[in-house]
Amino acid sequence: MAQREILDSCVLLDSFIHAHIPSSFAQNALYYLLYAGEFRCDTRYRIERQHLNMYLLMYVVEGGLRCQFGENTLTVGPGEMILMDCRQHHIFQSIADHTQFRWFHFNGASSSYYYDLIDQRHNLVTTPSETTLHNLDSILNMMKEDMVDEHQASVLIHTMLWEIATDSSGKDFRTTRARQVLSYIHSNYQDDIMVEQLANIAGLSPYHFIRWFKHLTSTTPHEYLINYRLKKAKELLINTDDSIEQIACQCGFNSASHFCRCFKKEVGVTPREFRHLF
């Protein structure tokens, strides 16, 4: 793939970049670092690549960046952070005479799944917390000192991804309407629960409720209800001697056969096989 980088004439003094070669263990089991640095640049700075098999996290200290990748065209200002998928064609460039940003490339573990979750929640550009900025500094320091603890680096990257993913949805979970909706499901999971009932509790139309709920939980209301019923069924299978038919009825399934089909599809074994495991 063609790759074009304009670096020498537009990256100013006091900029640095460091590389790390991850171990085989890190590549197979951890989030791992590849490159990291801090750049000061002017409006001539522009990077365009067709493909780079890694992800990029950038924090703008001053100035600004315009980033294009996939169907996204995003502007990142001072105090903001962006997560980019570099596995597709991407461009980013300075939009100010004095732009400073810190960054690192990474991959591994569940990077693609976390990226998809963050993209789905429209959190690719966020305002990082103090904890996230501290973790970014820790990553840059270990790269600069050539003393990368791969396990620690993995934990730091994972923590940053978690904070980005929950930047808005975590707050929503603590709102009154979210607690009321989940509380209603947890108290009435044995009954037929209609989307319209839950939407009414949230004060939303059914259409907007389904989108809001999926943003919070990454599942539809129906999927969440089934999973909660299966969770309660697991507890009954482990803690009681109730029959499969009784448990199916107690957990809101309309028949034992329906319960068994749902259970095996999600858990991978039948309810009886699951009970024998414990």
Domain ranges of the chain: 3-167, 172-277
Digit-coded pLDDT (tens) for 152-181: 999 999 999 999 988 754 455 557 788 899
Kindly tell me the burial class for residue 76, based on how many C-beta atoms sit within 10 Å of its own C-beta (0-12, 13-18, 19 or more).
buried
What is the CATH class of 3-167? mainly beta
- 264: pLDDT strictly greater than 70: yes
CATH no. for 172-277: 1.10.10.60
Contact between 155 and 109 under an 8 Å Cβ cutoff? The reply is: no
Is pTM beyond 0.85? Reply is: no
Question: Residue 166 corresponds to which amino acid?
Answer: T
> What single string gives the DSSP state of each residue in 118-183?
HHHTT-SEE---HHHHHHHHHHHHHHHTT---HHHHHHHHHHHHHHHHTTTHHHHHTSHHHHHHHH
Q: Which pLDDT score is estimated for 2? A: 34
- Least confidently predicted of 82-86, 203-207, 259-263: 203-207
Digit-coded pLDDT (tens) for 220-253: 999 999 999 999 999 999 999 999 999 999 999 9
Digit-coded pLDDT (tens) for 57-84: 999 999 999 999 988 999 999 999 999 9
Equal CATH topology for 3-167 and 172-277: no
Nearest-angstrom CA–CA distance, 111 and 53: 11
Radius of gyration, CA atoms only, the chain: 24
Q: Which residues are CB-contacts of 66 (< 8 A; sequence separation ≥ 6)?
A: 73, 74, 75, 76, 92, 93, 95
Q: Which pLDDT score is estimated for 173? A: 54
